[in-house]
Amino acid sequence: MQVFVFVLNRTEHLEHLMEEFSKHGLRGATVLDSKGMARILLGSDEDVPMFAGLRALLEPERKSSKTIFCVLPDEKVALARQIVNQVTGGLHTPDSGIMFAMPLTFVEGLEKKA
């Protein structure tokens, strides 16, 4: 089992992404509002010269991202990655998002009781 995490910066893709996850049997995702470090620093009143160039790259009207995480069997992680790339058009463009997975040492609460 792995925890699959995807930070979606282009939140307009969220509903379609969740529909595709569900259609392919990837259920139980949790979605949280999130904000990255660069957005916090760029949004501060202090002038941070190191981040001045980033202002042009980041869309000022986008205030937050969505962090999606779910516990998946190892064999479903590649499918989740494929769906994310298909729905978003890929994460190779700046400010599109980041995804990763980590192995779990234990999971409780997923079993359905009869």
Cα separation of 61 and 102, whole Å?
32
Domain ranges of the chain: 2-35+62-103
74-101 tens-digit pLDDT = 999 999 999 999 999 999 988 889 999 9
Higher pLDDT among residues 97 and 41, named by residue: 97
CATH for 2-35+62-103, among 3.10.450.50, 3.30.830.10, 3.40.190.10, 3.30.70.120? Answer: 3.30.70.120
Cα-trace Rg, the chain: 16
- Contact partners, residue 43, CB within 8 Å, separation at least 6: none
